[in-house]
Amino acid sequence: MTVRERIRQNISAAFYRHGLLCASYPVPIILFTSASILTCCYPLLKLPLPGTGPVEFTTGVRDYSTPSHESQGDLSERPDWYRGPPVAYIQQVLVKAAVSPWDNSLVPVDVFRSPLGRVFSVLEEIRNHVYTDRSLEALCLQVTDLLPGLRRMQAVLPEHGCLLVSPGNYWQNRRDLFDADPDLLKTVHQHEPKGLHTSATLKDLLFGVPGKQTGVNLYSKKRVVTYTITIALSSYDARFVASLRARLKQLHPSANCTLREDHMVHVHFKEEIGIAELIPLVTTYIILFAYIYFSTRKIDMVKSKWGLALAAVVTVLSSLLMSVGLCTLFGLTPTLNGGEIFPYLVVVIGLENVLVLTKSVVSTPVDLEVKLRIAQGLSNESWSIMKNMATELCIILIGYFTFVPAIQEFCLFAVVGLVSDFFLQMFFFTTVLSIDIRRMELADLNRRLPAEAGMPPPKPGPLRPRETPPPPRPSPHTITLQAPAFRNLRLPKRLRVVYFLARTRLAQRIIMVGTVIWIGILVYTDPAGLRTFLAAQVSEQSPLGEAGLPPHLGVAPVFPGGDPTSTLSGLPAPEPTPLPENQSQGHRAAHPEVAPVSSPQITWGPEDEELWRRLSFRHWPSLFSYYNITLAKRYISILPVIPVTLHLSPQEAIDTRHPQDTHHAPPPSIKTSDLQTDLTLYKVAALGLFAGVVLVLLLFCLYRVLCPRNYGQNGVPHGRRRRGDLPCDEYGYSPPISEISPLLLRGHSMDIECLASDGMLLASCCLVGHIRVWDAQTGDCLTVIPNNGLRRSSSSGCWEHRDGGGAVGGQDVDIFPIRRRTTPARPALFGDQPDLTPLIDTNFGLSPPSQALSSSGFDFGGLVEKAYQEHEPSPTLAFPPSPPPVLPPELPPQNNGDWDSSVWAMELRGNLIATGRSSGKLELWDAVEGSLRCSNEDGVSGITALAFLNNRIVAARLNGSLDFFTVEITKPLGLLQYRGPPGRGSLPPSPCYSSEDVISCQLTRSVQCAHQKPITVLKAAAGRVVTGSQDHTVRVYRLEDSCCLFTLQGHSGGITAIYIDQTMVLASGGQDGTICVWDVLTGSRVSHVYGHRGDVTSLVCTTSCIISSGLDDLICIWDRSTGIKLYSIQQEVGCGASLGVISESLLVTGGQGCVSFWDLNYGDLLQTVYLGQSSEGQSVRQLLVLDNAAIVCDFGSELSLVYVPSVLEKLD
């Protein structure tokens, strides 16, 4: 175990260093990688291009001998394939025939009817040729049946006999059928395939020359018909061939023929990779890349997904090439078709490492340096990567020791491919990833809010200090749902599957196990037989499995053992001296010199020497394939062509005419068919391209057409949302606008700093320090606690006044904001003063009596005082009585109020407001009466956070200490009563203190060094107090005895958000963007996810999920039990980070001047409520969810109360 651990540590360290290296020197490493890729691919240049073009080798006819099977080694210029006898020797008799002299009495058909007719006599001659008891029958390649599927061709191609093809085959080599044929062209063309064809057509096969050169058409200018009689010989008898040549030459002399006859050409055919073979291959690759595409789409949180996807593809491709190149370098010639195997290999091996690497690196803390992130990410995954690699290699090794050659070769390739893939992943991909992460970092830096100043934040609120948000970008407010297809399933399966796959490497393991089992079965069932079979297969290098045909059938039976004697030392000169023995119907050849100038000239040029070169390169393979003889990886020898010239007299042409020839309409489409052979190659390419494009389009359509929802950022541009211009989803459905109207609570003159609520009351505190208490139900202002020290001493609470106030009751709440809005002209600075406008007496007719003026001057004081007294009890305009006229913000401190320190934290329970001040003072105010009930000045460090639970108050201070206070009521206990209707049983009991009680607040315990650094978050629930601090730790205290239960470590940044609820669920988010879920009972970490780039600003949980928002303007929804990210919602930049959960499936977020409601199950925007007309600039920073389906949020200096019953109904 220790060894294992040590190895693990070493590997981890090595990967860490490697990651540092890669991230530190990206450019040199990429250069190095490219160089090594190129080096490894260099041997590929020696490999023949993957074309299918045949390879030729020319030997002399004179000293030709059939090459032996064994390679002699001395003849270096001999190609490898030139071993053993060829499949066949091809002897072509090239016939050029013309009717000459041409006269105008002849019809176009005459151009080819009689010349073609002469083929039968030449054929006869050839068939009957005998040289010293050797006839053609003995030498020629005997063919059996055509392939069973070729019934159409049965009438045309020879069967059960010599493979001898000529145009005569169209008429079954029978002259009478030819003569009776009314339309020769139709006969010829009826066998032509319609439409596109790539291999040799029947016309090519029979005529043996390219279709254009046959001259068999009605528009031939040259009026020379060219065709060949092709004889396939199984064995080479030089004397027989020579005598045949001599005989034919003698019979049909070619006057000016200087064709060379001393070279025979051996043509070797590669394995046929025809279009037919390419299409499946291309398909596999396209599917492969589709897989890569769909996989790399899941690469998240990187700067350029495309760049990384490209890098992944390059990695895969290069590893492919490298493995082939390296294998070639070490002398391994690939016999398996690597191109066919690798897609399958790649599908299961290639991408998971990349995904794992990316995910690992991305999920490292963002505040680290890029180098360190890469290194950390690498080292995190190093063990699993190495383990997998080792396992794979082991399995391959096992496969290698099966000693089955094919499997061995496959294993070799796999090893090299794996290693090179690993190499590239480690060097190339990691480096690219580091570059990408660095780019992202830079982009983040530009985007990110300015860095926080030093440790003690100047104004720590309940949340972290907020910087001014950057100006809103005109970016669409889109939701990035990761899984477009899974709206109905609450969990996007795709992500789960990817993470699951990446985590468990399921596919790899399955494949490994499968391979092992497969090899096992192979070896177990039939080791010996299989081995020999495969050995034969590999050595033959003939993967074409003609099922019924042993590999040698095409050659071996027709190759006599003692054939070397057939070598001829000397061939007769072109001028044939010996007369052939056999008789033939010697036709009189027309005299060429008689031909007039206009007559067709038969010329023999060097281009006629190897006319077969102009044929399709599939000419011979297709001819042989009809007889189930493959030429793949074998060769044929083409003997020098025998020229035959035929001159026919016009009379002869007229004699052979068919009665219908004279009124024969030319078929219209000959030209096109002639052209087709030339275009073969282009067509092949075009077809391949076409197939690829079709597949891509098909897949694209498949994905796009039925996936109209575009969840990406570059989706349907919504444009900047304006008020009243609500975003509609892609279905054109925009949520109803008018249902929710917010209730604005005005009164604060400055921005609202703290917000607290216990469900019934709502307390807010603005920057100046004014505290206002509102009725959470109606939005009425109940109490104002100004910071000027003019405390209200009237014992009559606002309740009475409100009930009897009459003017504005709870019923006309709707009027309230409207009415408030009508008088916005008053400067906010004077908001604390009563409205004195009614005091201005404009009725000068009723001016005060002059005697009063004369006696003491006009005394405004009484009037104003009266106004103040009238004004005071008004519930709607509950402005504090403030001294006229201008109120300086700093007033001399009073006895029992600390006025020059600002309120940093506020809590509300029952009707007690607890405020924590920057001076370290804790004050308890009566919410209803606005009187200071108690204050405690035990601490001097500013209170950054407060928690008020039952009768205990916990205060977190700036210096990291944590104070526990107990609120004690000295009056009899019976006065503790419970407020609220009985229907709200779910409410935590909020004790109500009557105003007569004497409330004291005593420090029960002070934990001096609760944290090393300032406490940023303090939350209390379920008898626990949880603190989060900038020292990266979370601490859990028991509320009763203020005993520290756990110190939770797991964040690598300061804690910024904590959530704890009655069910003891504790989640914390930190500046590192991580979210940890803890078990409060045991103190163990349940899950740990990297969610945000930048701080986690807010955290909320429901029973099934965790919702977090971060500085990256992303709201992420996580599965609570598994910690898997379900989806995320991209918000506008700087739209605040306030979150609230109204019900199990309704999320509310604050935005720029608006709050948005989301359906948690689907991530749908349900509704956006705009808080005010000036929606720009003001962002909702705090958001409280009250329990009557209302939310309250701050909106600049106003509070906004939004009821959401409609949304709730909709959800139900």
Partner 1 sequence: MYSGALMRRGPYISMITNRTMNLLIRAAMLFMVGVFLALVLNLLQVQRNVTLFPPDVLSSVFSSAWWVPPCCGTAAALIGLLYPCMDRRLGEPHKLKREWSNVMRCVAVFVGINHASAKVDFANNVQLSLTLAALSVGLWWTFDRSRSGFGLGVVIAILATLATQLLVYNGVFQYTSPDFLYIRSWLPCIFFAGVITVGNIGRQLALYEYKVNQEKTHQD
Q: Which of 138, 290, 332, 386 binds partner 1 (CB under 8 A)?
A: 290
- Phi and psi at 662, nearest 5°, equal -70, -35
Would you say 641 and 263 are in contact if contact means Cβ atoms under 8 Å apart?
no
Positions in 483-512 near partner 1 (CB under 8 A): 483, 485-489, 493-494, 497, 507, 510
* Residue closer to partner 1 (CB basis): 510 or 689: 510
Min dist CB 361 to partner 1, Å, is: 21
Q: How far is the CB of 484 from partner 1 (least distance, A)?
A: 9
Q: How far is the CB of 308 from partner 1 (least distance, A)?
A: 16
Query: Least Å distance between CB 1129 and partner 1?
Result: 18
Tell whether residue 537 is a contact of partner 1 (CB under 8 A).
Answer: yes
Comparison of 111 and 684: residue with beta carbon closer to partner 1? 684
Segment 298 to 327, residues that bind partner 1, using CB under 8 A: 298
Q: CA nearest 1095: which of 476, 457, 366?
A: 366
Q: Is 194 in the site for partner 1 (CB under 8 A)?
A: yes
Q: Please identify, using beta-carbon distances, which residue of 263 and 487 lies nearer to partner 1.
A: 487
CA distance linking residue 779 with residue 1193, whole number of Å: 12
Separation CA 47–CA 28 (nearest Å):
30
Among positions 663-722, residues that touch partner 1 (CB under 8 A) are 687, 694-695, 698-699, 701-703, 705-708
199 binds partner 1 per the rule CB under 8 A? yes
DSSP string, 849-910: PHHHHHHH---HHHHHHHHHHHHTT-STT------SS---S-----SS---SSPEEEEEEET
Interacting residue with partner 1 among 13, 31, 394, 517 (CB under 8 A): 517
Question: Nearest distance from residue 1147's CB to partner 1, in Å?
Answer: 17
Residue (594 or 702) nearer to partner 1, CB: 702
Binder to partner 1 among 44, 130, 259, 279 (CB under 8 A)? Answer: 279
What are the helix (H) ranges across 92-218? 110-127, 136-139, 175-180, 184-189, 202-207
Rank residues 275 and 440 by Cβ distance to partner 1 and give the closer one. Answer: 275
At residue 553, φ and ψ (nearest 5 deg) are -60, -35
**Minimum CB distance to partner 1 smaller for 272 or for 753:** 272
Q: Specify the residue, 83 or 191, whose C-beta has the smaller distance to partner 1.
A: 191
Q: How many Å from the N-terminal Cα to the C-terminal Cα in the chain?
A: 56
CB-CB neighbours of 545 under 10 Å:
9
Residue 1085 in contact with partner 1, rule: CB under 8 A: no
Among residues 75, 196, 453, 693, which is the contact residue for partner 1, using CB under 8 A? Answer: 196
Contacts of 1022 (CB under 8 A, 6+ apart): 1060, 1061, 1062, 1063, 1064, 1080
Point out which residues pair with 880 in neighbouring strands: none
Q: What is the residue type of 626?
A: Y
User: Which span sits near partner 1 by CB under 8 A: 60-68, 194-202, 589-597, 823-831?
Assistant: 194-202
The reply to whether 523 sits near partner 1 by the rule CB under 8 A is no
Q: Residue 296 Cβ, how far from partner 1 at the closest point, in Å?
A: 9
Residue 846 contacts partner 1 per CB under 8 A: no
Q: Which residues pair with 1158 in a beta bridge?
A: 1147, 1165
* Total number of residues that touch partner 1 (CB under 8 A): 87
Q: Shortest gap between Cβ of 1141 and partner 1 (angstroms)?
A: 20
Q: What is the DSSP string of 32-46?
A: HHHHHHHHHHGGGGT
Per CB under 8 A, which region of 21-29, 191-199, 216-224, 239-247 contacts partner 1?
Answer: 191-199
Single out the residue of 60, 195, 827, 845 in contact with partner 1 (rule: CB under 8 A): 195
Q: ∠ CA 409-410-416 to the nearest 5 degrees?
A: 90
What are the tokens at 819?
């009415």
Binds partner 1 by CB under 8 A, chosen from 259, 530, 813, 891: 530
Contact criterion met (CB below 8 Å) for 269 and 634: yes
Q: Do the beta carbons of residue 952 and residue 967 sit within 8 Å? A: yes
Identity of the residue, 293 or 868, whose beta carbon is nearer to partner 1 in the bound complex = 293
Q: How far is the CB of 723 from partner 1 (least distance, A)?
A: 20
Helix (H) or strand (E) holding 1060: strand 1055-1060
Residues numbered 259 to 278 that lie near partner 1 (CB under 8 A) are 272, 274-277
Q: Which is nearer to partner 1, 1034 or 1165 (CB)?
A: 1165
Smallest gap from residue 697 Cβ to partner 1 (A): 10
Residues 348-377 close enough to bind partner 1 by CB under 8 A? none
Q: In what helix (H) or strand (E) does residue 538 lie, and over which residues does it extend?
A: helix 527-540
- In DSSP terms, 164 is beta-bridged to 231
Closer residue to partner 1, CB minimum distance, 510 or 828: 510
- Identify residues 996-1025 at the interface with partner 1 (CB under 8 A): none
Q: Write down the least CB distance from residue 436 to partner 1, Å.
A: 21
Q: How many helices (H) and strands (E) does the chain have?
A: 26, 45
Determine the angle formed by the axes of helices 527-540 and 405-424, rounding to 10 degrees: 70
Among 730, 814, 859, 870, binds partner 1 (CB under 8 A): 730
> How many CB atoms within 10 Å of residue 1106?
26
Prior bond of 873 cis (ω within 30°):
no
Q: Which of residues 598-617 bind partner 1 (CB under 8 A)?
A: none
Look-up: residue for tokens 């054939």?
Answer: 563
Residues in region 790-809 near partner 1 by CB under 8 A: none
Smallest gap, in angstroms, from Cβ of residue 407 to partner 1? 11
Among 85, 115, 208, 343, binds partner 1 (CB under 8 A): 343
Report the nearest approach of partner 1 to the CB of residue 493 (Å): 5
Subset of residues 110 to 139 that bind partner 1, contact rule: CB under 8 A: none
Interface with partner 1, residue 981, by CB under 8 A: no
Residues 677, 644: contact at Cβ < 8 Å?
no
Q: Tokens in use for 385? A: 């990567």
Measure the CA–CA gap between 913 and 666, rounded to whole angstroms: 108
What residues between 139 and 168 interact with partner 1 by CB under 8 A?
147-153
CB nearer to partner 1: pick between 255 and 697: 697
Kindly give, in sequence order, each residue whose CB lies less than 8 Å from that of residue 683, ignoring residues fewer than 6 positions away: 196, 198
96 burial via Cβ count (<10 Å: 0-12, 13-18, 19+): buried
Token pair 């010239």 in the structure block, residue: 645
Closest CB 54 distance from partner 1, rounded Å: 18
Which range touches partner 1 (CB under 8 A), out of 169-177, 387-395, 515-523, 653-661?
Answer: 515-523
State the pairing for strand pair 634-638/89-99: parallel
- For the CB of residue 275, give the shortest distance to partner 1 in the complex, in Å: 6
The single-letter code of the amino acid at 462 is: P
Q: Which residues pair with 771 in a beta bridge?
A: 765, 785
731 is a site residue for partner 1 (CB under 8 A)? yes
- Binding to partner 1 (CB under 8 A): which residues in 414-433? none
Residue 645: enclosing H or E segment and its boundaries? Answer: strand 642-648
Write out the binding residues for partner 1, residues 621-640 only, by CB under 8 A. 622, 626, 628
By CB under 8 A, residue 288 contacts partner 1:
yes
Residue nearer to partner 1 on the CB measure, 38 or 697 = 697
Among 25, 32, 81, 294, the residue binding partner 1 under the rule CB under 8 A is: 294
1039-1058 positions binding partner 1, by CB under 8 A: none
Nearer to partner 1, 628 or 1074 (CB): 628
Amino acid identity for residue 351 in this structure: L
Give pairs for 659-663: CB < 8 Å, separation 24+.
659/182, 660/182, 660/183, 661/107, 661/109, 661/110, 661/113, 661/182, 662/107, 662/109
Q: Decide: helix, strand or coil at residue 1105.
A: strand
Distance in angstroms (rounded) separating the CA atoms of residues 183 and 665: 10
